[in-house]
Amino acid sequence: MAALKPTDKKEKNAFPKFLDAILMQVAAHLGRVGALKPHHIGLAGHSAGGYEGIHDALAQSGTYSDTITDLTLMDSSYSTSHFAEASKWMFAGSHNKTVRIVQSPDQIENSYHKVKNEHDPNHQTTVRVDPFWRAYFGESQLKAAAATHKMTIKKLGVTGDDRGNHTKAIQHTQLIAADGSVHCDVLVLQSSLGHHEIRDNVMDDAMRSIGQGAAGADDFGKNHIDNYGRDPSMPHYGDSGPQIANKKADKYAAVSSPAPTPTHATPNTAATTVKLPAPAHADLKPDAGKLDHAATQHVAPAPKHHHDTSTTKKHAAETETAASPNATFQSADLTELSALVASVNNPSITSCMQHLIRLATLQKRNFVGVKGNSELKGAQRNELVNGIGEVHAEVKALNADVTPTKLATIKSAMFRALQEISPYHAQARNINILEGKATRTCSVTSLAMALEGLGKGVATYGGDKPAVLAVAKVYSSALGEADVKGENDASAGDWGHMAALRLPDFLELAAIAHIANGATDPASIKAAAAVAWNQIKQITFLGELAKDFGATATLKYFSTSADPAPKGKHAQSHSSTVLEGQGLDQRHRIDKVIDARNKMEAETDPARRAALKQVYDRLRDHDAAALNGQAIEKSLPVEEYKHSVISQLGAELASGAAIETHVINHFIRVHSVHEDHVVIDDPSQDARAHKKVLWEEARAQGMFEKRLVIT
C-alpha cells in the first residue's frame, strides 16, 4: 500500500507508476526489449488490508483506470471507502467490467458500524446498520445509480446456484448500457468457509476470469484448490471448515490481512500475480508483438541472512571471536528507479535499466559461497563483473532526450545501484603470499571490490603480464591453495589460470609485478615481494595499482565546511586528524558494538531479540564516550560529519566512482550512503559484508579519514 500512497497529494497516477516499475523488471526477466503494457488488470482484495489496497489502487489508477477490468472483494466489508471507489470505477469508462463480492454470512448481512438503537427508549443499546457492500451493490442501490448514468439493470436468477465448497450465489446483476451491451457484471457470493479460506477458495477464479467479462461469471467459485488454507505454519490453521452459525462477527473484525508484500503464484494458475495489499493481476501485452501468457512477478528485494562458519584462516588482528550476521544478502532495490525510468518512457534509458535489472538478477541468483556465504565462483563472478563494466559505460554514455535534472537523477541512481550489486570478498580467503600470520591484505581486498564495482578485473589489467606470470610461477604452491577461484580456463593458457583467480589474489601478484619493474627472475621477484609486503598498506601505492587496471585513483582526506583550508597538496584537515586519532583498540570495540546491533536488528524472534538488545546496550553504553561523548562531539560534531559524508562520498558514488576508504589500521569499501547510516563492505569477516554502520559508530572508528576515489 505504501507504494500507492504518493507524497504529492495531487498525484493521481501512483498505480500506473507502481505497475510499470514491476513490468519493466518482468520485461528484463523475459529478455524483451521495450516496455510491457497491461491489456487487462484484475484487482483482488481480502480483509481489512485488502480493502485499503483496493481503495488506494482505484483512487490512484490514473491512466490505467480503464485497463482495470475486474475487481474481486473477499470478506472485506470493513468500510465503505473501497466500495465507493469501486462504484465510481464501475460506471466510468469501457464496457465488459466485472465486480465479484465474496463474503461470509455475517458480512453479507451485517455491518461492523453500529448506531444507537432508536427503538430502545433508554438509548443504551446499539444495532448494526446495513452491510457496507449493499449501499453500493445491492440491487435497489444499483438500479438507482444506473438510472443516473442512463443505464438499466438486469437481474439474473440465482436460486439453487450452488458453487460448491460451502459457497453459493445470492445476487447476480448486470448493468446494461444504452446500446444494450453489458457494462458491468456484478456477482455476489456467500461463503460459509473460514475468513482466510474464503480468499483461498476464489483466488484462482479471480485470476482465470480476468478480461472475460460477464462470461466468466458462470464458473466463478467453482475452481477448487486441494488442501487450501491448511498450512499448519499459518495462524489461521484450523479455521478452514464451514462457519458455525453462532460464531460472532467480531471474530473477523479482529482478523486483518498481513502487511502488504508481493507474493507469487497461487497453485494451479495460468498466470502469477503482482500483489498489492491484495493481488493485482495483469494480462500483459508488449508494445510490439503479442505475449499471451506472461507470468508477472514482483519480487521485492528480501534479505537472506548468511552466517559465516568458515574457519579457513584465523587472523589475530581482524578476525573477531564469533561472526555476527551483518552479512545480509542485499540485492539493489530497483523499485523506485524502475518507476522513475518508466515515467520518462525513453527507449535508451529503458534498455539500460533492463540491463541493470539483469545484473541484479544475476547477482541474486549466484550469491552462493564455496566456503562461506558471501563470494561468487569464478565464472559467475567474471560474468557479473564484465556486465557491470558494460552497464557502467552504458550509463555514462546516456544522453537521452529528457530534462537534464531527471537524466542526472536516473544516472546517479544507476551508478549507485551498480556499486550495490558488485561482488564482496573476504580477506581470510586470500592466498598467503603477502598475508603472513597476521592479516594485512585488507587493502588489496578492498581495492579489488572497488575495481570490480567499476567492472574492472583481470580482463582489464594493463600492467606487466609476463611479470605477473613470473610471480605466479615463483609462488605456485600458494596459488594451488587459492580459494573460491572457480573453473580455470585451460584453453586460454597460463593467463586463463590468472583470470580464474579472485581479484584480491591476483592483486597480490600484480603488486609484486608492479614493484619488480620488468624483472622476471626468481631472485628479483622475491625481492619485490619483500618491498610489496609493506607497500600494500600504503594508500598511495594502492592508487598506483588501480592505474594498472585502467582506472584513475584520487586520494582525498576527510573535511567539513568548518575546517580551515589545509596547506599543501595532501595536507590533512582538522577533521581528518580527529578521525585518525580514534585509536585501534577503540575501533575493535566499536566493531563489536556494530556487530551486536546488526545481529539484534536481524533477529525476528522477540525473546531472542530482547536478549540481544541487552548485549548491544551493554557494549554501546561501555563506549558511550567514544560514540557520543562531549569531547568527540566538540571536536567533530556528528551532524557535520554526516553532512560531509553524504555531500562528498555520496556525490562521488552518484557520479559513477567507487571508493576504498580507511579506518584505523584497516581498509574497507564503501557500498552505499544513506540518510541515517552508511553501508560498507568490510573484508575482515564474511559476516561484515554489507555492514550497516550508524554515524556515531563510523565516527568512533575513524571511518573515512582518507579515501581513494576510483573512476
Neighbours of 531 (CB within 10 A): 15
Name, in order, each residue with C-beta under 8 angstroms of 643's C-beta and a sequence gap of 6 or more.
Answer: 560, 561
The answer to whether 530 touches 463, Cβ cutoff 8 Å, is no
Asked if the structure places residue 161 within a domain, the reply is yes
* Contact call for residues 391 and 359 (beta carbons, < 8 A): yes
Amino acid type, 396: K
Q: Which residues contact 319 (CB under 8 A, 6 or more apart)?
A: 313, 428, 439, 684, 685
pTM value is 0.63
How many domains does the chain contain in total? 2
Q: Are residues 225 and 324 in the same domain?
A: no
Does one domain contain both 193 and 320? no
Cα–Cα separations (whole angstroms), residue 213 to 71, 435, 550, 641: 11, 70, 60, 60
Task: Tell me what percent of the chain is helix, strand and coil, each rounded to the nearest 5.
Answer: 45, 15, 40
Question: β-strand 68-74 against 36-46: which pairing, if any?
Answer: parallel
Query: How far lies 179's CA from each of 92, 148, 150, 175, 342, in Å?
Result: 15, 16, 10, 11, 37
Query: Does 390 map to a domain?
Result: no
Q: What is the mean pLDDT of residues 567-585?
A: 85
Nearest-5° angle of CA 98, CA 102, CA 106? 145
Structural domain range at position 322: 309-331+367-376+423-710
Q: Are residues 147 and 277 in the same domain?
A: yes
My answer on whether 584 and 676 are in the same domain is: yes
Q: Which of 338, 386, 341, 339 is nearest to 362 (CA)?
A: 386
pLDDT band at 438; cut points 50, 70, 90? low
Question: HSE-up of 268 (CA within 13 Å, CB side)?
Answer: 13
* Percent of the chain at pLDDT exceeding 90: 52
Residues 181 and 214 grouped into a single domain: yes
Same domain, 638 and 587: yes
DSSP string over 317-382 = TT--SS--TT-EE-----HHHHHHHHHHT-HHHHHHHHHHHHHHHHHHHT---SSSSS---HHHHH
What confidence score (pLDDT) does residue 366 get?
Answer: 59
All three cell numbers of 566: 589545509
Residues 535 and 660 both lie in one domain: yes
pLDDT score of 129 more than 80: no
pLDDT of residue 361: 81
pLDDT of residue 77: 86
**Distance between CA atoms of 251 and 321, rounded to whole angstroms?**
50
- pLDDT score of 37: 86
Regarding whether 318 and 212 lie in a shared domain, the answer is no
Same domain for 679 and 616 = yes
For the chain, give the number of residues: 711
Model confidence at 119: pLDDT above 60:
yes
Give the confidence band of 487 by pLDDT, cuts at 50, 70, 90: very low
Query: Are 282 and 315 part of one and the same domain?
Result: no
In a domain, 299, yes or no: no
Crossing angle of helices 404-421 and 335-344, in 10° steps, is 150
User: Does the residue 408 lie in any domain?
Assistant: no
In a domain, 384, yes or no: no
Res 471 pLDDT > 60? yes
**Range of weakest confidence among 54-68, 281-295, 397-411:** 281-295
Question: Looking at the domain assignment, is residue 403 inside a domain?
Answer: no
Q: What is the arithmetic mean of pLDDT over 359-363?
A: 83
- For residues 282 and 313, state if they share a domain: no
Can you tell me the distance from the alpha carbon of 527 to that of 506, in angstroms, rounded to the nearest whole number?
Answer: 18
The pLDDT confidence band at residue 106, using thresholds 50, 70 and 90, is confident
What does the alpha-carbon distance between residue 529 and residue 531 come to, in Å, rounded to a whole number?
5
C-alpha 444/C-alpha 448 separation (Å) is 6
- What average pLDDT does the segment 391-414 reach? 92
Residue 53 phi/psi, 5-degree rounding, is -65, -40
DSSP state of 648: I
Per-residue buried b or exposed e for 34-44, using 16+ beta carbons within 10 Å of the residue's own CB = ebbebbbbbbb
Examine the pLDDT at 120 and tell me if it is beyond 80.
no
Which residue in 484, 411, 356 sits closest to 657, CA to CA?
Answer: 411
Across the range 466-495, mean pLDDT stands at 70
pLDDT-based confidence at residue 224 (cuts at 50, 70, 90): low
Please indicate, yes or no, whether residues 256 and 315 belong to a single structural domain of this protein. Answer: no
Are 456 and 549 a contacting pair, CB within 8 Å? yes
- Which pLDDT band holds residue 122 (cuts at 50, 70, 90)? confident
Instruction: Confirm whether 462 is domain-assigned.
Output: yes
CA distance linking residue 576 with residue 572, whole number of Å = 6
Confidence of residue 569 (pLDDT cuts 50, 70, 90): low
Is 469 strand, coil or helix? helix
Please list, residue by residue across 176-210, b when 16 or more beta carbons sit within 10 angstroms of its beta carbon and e when fewer do: bbeeeebbbbbbbbbbbbbbbbbbbbbbbbbbbbb
CB proximity list for 218: less than 8 A, separation 6 or greater: none
Taking the C-alpha atoms of residue 183 and residue 176, their distance in angstroms, rounded to an integer, is 6
- Using DSSP's 3-state secondary structure scheme, residue 72 falls into strand
Number of neighbours of residue 112 by Cβ within 10 angstroms: 17
In a domain, 83, yes or no: yes
Residue 470's Cβ-side half-sphere holds a number of Cα atoms within 13 Å equal to: 22
pLDDT at 307 over 50: no
- According to the model, what pLDDT value does residue 485 have? 52
